[in-house]
Amino acid sequence: MLEHEVKIPAMPETGYQIRIGADILGSLWPEIESSFGKLNKFIVTDENLVSAGHLEKLTGQRNIPTYVIKPAGETSKHINTVISIIEAMEKVKLGRDTLILALGGGTVGDIAGFAAAIFKRGVPVIQIPTTTVSQADSAVGGKTGVDSSISKNAFGAFWHPAAVYIDVATLVTLDERQFRAGLVESVKHAIIADARYFDFLETNLDSILQRKTDVLETIAYKNCRIKGEVVEVDPLEKNQRRMLNYGHTIGHAVEAASGFELLHGEAVAIGIIAAGMIEIEMGLSQPQRLERIRRILEKLEVPVKLPGNLAENQLIEIIKHDKKAVDKWPRFVLVSDIGRVYSQNGQFAVEVSRELVEKILKQL
């Protein structure tokens, strides 16, 4: 069992423990009872977690009120699901002394976390992530929310979990494409924060892809430590937290332009390659570094080139409307080395000209 604590000096009441292990789901309940015994429990999960047997593993023979999201996935990440969850809690007479347990991937975590943020003006939530995306990214950091019919995460709140429990053995039942795409966030963490972690990923990629739980524990720990430390210094995303956006500005544009045919991690892989090309053009990198990154992504079998049907001008239009854009052009996160984010005047998102981005997109 590995542990990491996230302490947020600016918000001392929001520190939390992250516990990581393999096959821990079945023994979590007594621990949750001993830490949160006074609170009434309510589980939010989705239909795939039920059919994979993970819900039953968590609850055993206990009869815990549960909301099962159907269909699983992004199409359910909207406000009506949050309303149904809140009404389901009211129907079983739950009040402010409720603890919500979010068992599932990022969609369950985001929906349940947002429901927790607004139910009776806020109740605690425990995140129990079960995908490579959620174990690396969404369960830690406190961003919660749901989509509107117009944009992703249009409704949202920062709502830090009361605890995070990561059982890497749950990943064994995850679909192969989802599993691989989610690992791109791990590659991103290594590139922005930890050269030794990058070496570890390179060396252990075969074992990771075979889902050996000891290596999965190590990467879950490294991811939580990296994300946790960034969140600690910048919980509300004023500056440092932007570094987590590495590969994401172009990645988001590619994801949207693909009509969400590409998974988030797959689009971010293309964004990471684009960032590496920009770094070479700006004299921040040599081609060998990009080749190392490309090799790791190719081994994950995620795309490293723009799909032929995506036009550069369509991508430029989307980038212009990036939610972090000022005067219709966003700043970009770049690294000066593997493990070191490039900053200008203390800012971790820097200027890159539109002409350069256009040039890179043409070559991509």
* Binding footprint of ligand NAD on the chain (CB under 6 A): 46, 48-49, 52, 54, 72-74, 77, 104-108, 110, 130-131, 133-134, 137-138, 141, 143, 152, 170-171, 173-174, 178, 182
Closest approach, Cβ 71 to ligand NAD, in A, equals 8
Measured CA to CA, the distance from residue 69 to residue 52 in angstroms comes to 14
- Cβ proximity to ligand NAD: between 109 and 277 the closer is 109
Closest approach, Cβ 156 to ligand NAD, in A, equals 8
Task: Compute the 3-state secondary structure of the chain and give helix, strand, coil in percent, each to the nearest 5.
Answer: 50, 15, 30
Q: Is there a contact between 205 and 299 (Cβ–Cβ < 8 Å)?
A: yes
- Cβ proximity to ligand NAD: between 220 and 284 the closer is 220
Q: What is the DSSP string of 279-292?
A: HHHTTS--HHHHHH
Write the CA distances from 139 to 42, 68, 106, integer angstroms: 18, 19, 7
- Cβ proximity to ligand NAD: between 40 and 130 the closer is 130
- Cβ proximity to ligand NAD: between 46 and 322 the closer is 46
Closest approach, Cβ 151 to ligand NAD, in A, equals 11
What is the Cα gyration radius of the chain?
Answer: 20
Residue with tokens 């815990």: 64
Closest approach, Cβ 317 to ligand NAD, in A, equals 22
Handedness of CA 166, 244, 215, 295 (dihedral sign): positive
- Cβ proximity to ligand NAD: between 107 and 285 the closer is 107
Write the CA distances from 225 to 12, 174, 191, 268, integer angstroms: 18, 23, 14, 21
Closest approach, Cβ 345 to ligand NAD, in A, equals 27
Question: In one letter, which amino acid is 26?
Answer: G
Paired tokens of 137: 């990214």
Closest approach, Cβ 234 to ligand NAD, in A, equals 13
Measured CA to CA, the distance from residue 126 to residue 107 in angstroms comes to 14
Write phi, then psi, for 54 (nearest 5 degrees). Answer: -75, -35
- Cβ proximity to ligand NAD: between 144 and 285 the closer is 144
Closest approach, Cβ 211 to ligand NAD, in A, equals 11
- Cβ proximity to ligand NAD: between 140 and 304 the closer is 140
